[in-house]
Amino acid sequence: MLQNTKSNCIEDLLIKGKRILVSKNVSSHALDAALLLAEASGFSREKLITHNDYELSEVQRRHYFELLERRCRGESIAYILGRKEFFGLNFTVTPAVLTPRPDTEILVEAVLSILRSGPVLSDCAALRNVSFPVLDLCTGCGPVAIALKHKCPALEVWATDVSEEALAVARKNAETLDCGIAFLQGDLFDALEKRSRFFLIAANAPYVPSGEIDLLSPEVKAEPRIALDGGVDGLDLIRRIIVKAPLYLDKNGYIALEADPSQMETIAILMKDSGFSEPVMYQDLAGYNRVIAGKLS
Ligand code: GLN
């Protein structure tokens, strides 16, 4: 029995939304109902809590139920809202790009810690002054490149992607977030001039083994296959990146790659074979190795 009988009041709508999502086995039902109601009403999530007896208009109510229906059909919250938060920044996302993941924040953290320990730096404040050229491969909607540029405004950031559609989203994000980045279209290093040299190359390349794509959740399967599929063992792109990276790195430059924890040992061997010294691994929030970095030596 609903406590509040007013059918368009926030509390009532949240309860109804949660029930609908639960009935379709959406696991994050409470959060998702709140996010969709915030979107439909134009209220912040905080205001939904403090104004829970507030009546919404019929238009807002209808919009809310339309959004709930899309979520029930398996669309991700990020695609429905058209945005996703990453590293405290708001990114526009479309079905042309992979939705930025919390895992990829570890890649940004890893790069920042490399920059911090680099040749001229010792403290965080100095991060603002680092001006090395860095390259983000497979940039997608630009989360890694943009988060780095945001954190280190003096950094010279280059980013490439094979998908022109993804780059259009990345350029828009960089503009909105006021980050000057050189975006180039092309297959990995093909986008660059042969004489380009970087202090560091980062990449969240596709790394899901082809045979595992079908096992992914409907939300992930709705993302561009090209951004996920890494070939038979998931390492097609990563292998190509590691082999070519030394040609585009300064002497003593760095590489930092996101991948699946199960792929780390193989990647460590590939890195050593390509001339990178003892690779360092960085853990995700669940404690698994999610990023691996090496220094050319
Ligand atoms: N981490 C992503 C996933 O969970 C994969 C991202 C990638 O392939 N780069 O599906």
What pLDDT, in 10s, does the model give residues 123-154? 555 777 788 999 999 999 999 999 999 999 99
More confident residue, 184 or 1: 184
Burial of 94 (0-12, 13-18, 19+ CB in 10 A): middle
182 CA from centroid of ligand 1 (Å): 24
Question: Which pLDDT tens digit goes with each residue over 225-264?
Answer: 999 999 999 999 999 999 999 999 999 999 999 999 999 9
Average pLDDT of the chain is 93
* pTM summary value: 0.91
pLDDT of residue 150: 97
Task: Please tell me the distance from the alpha carbon of residue 48 to that of residue 28, in angstroms, as a whole number.
Answer: 18
Of 84-93, 120-129, 208-217, 287-296, give the lowest mean pLDDT range: 120-129
User: Rounded to an integer, what distance in angstroms lies between the CA atom of residue 218 and that of residue 24?
Assistant: 13
* The pLDDT value given to residue 126: 72
Residue 238, pLDDT score: 98
Q: 55-93 pLDDT, tens per residue? A: 999 999 999 999 999 999 989 999 999 999 999 999 999
Per-residue pLDDT at 27: 84
CA distances in angstroms from 44 to 15, 37, 61, 86, 140, listed in the order given: 17, 9, 16, 18, 28
The strand ranges marked E within the chain are 83-86, 89-92, 133-137, 156-161, 182-185, 198-203, 249-258, 280-283, 289-295
Residue 2's pLDDT band (cuts 50, 70, 90): very low
| Ligand 1 pocket by Cβ (under 6 Å) | 101, 103, 204, 206-208, 220, 228
Q: What's the burial of 149, exposed, middle or buried (CB within 10 Å: 0-12/13-18/19+)?
A: buried
Q: How many angstroms separate the CA atoms of 255 and 201, rounded? A: 5
Q: State pLDDT tens for residues 3-48.
A: 445 578 999 999 999 999 999 999 899 999 999 999 999 999 999 9
Give the relative orientation of helices 29-41 and 58-72 as an angle to the nearest 10 degrees.
140
| Per-residue confidence band for 116, with pLDDT thresholds at 50, 70 and 90 | confident
Nearest CA, atom 7, ligand 1: 206
CA of 83 relative to ligand 1 center, distance in Å = 18
Q: Which residues contact residue 173 at a Cβ distance below 8 angstroms, ignoring those fewer than 6 apart? A: 91, 92, 141, 142, 146
- Walk across the sheet containing 249-258 and list its strands: 182-185, 156-161, 133-137, 198-203, 249-258, 289-295, 280-283
Helix-then-strand count for the chain, H and E: 11, 9
- What pLDDT score was predicted for residue 122? 53
Question: In 10 A of CB 39, how many CB atoms?
Answer: 18
Mutate to test the pocket of ligand 1, among 84, 93, 98, 291 (most ligand atoms within 8 A of CB): 98
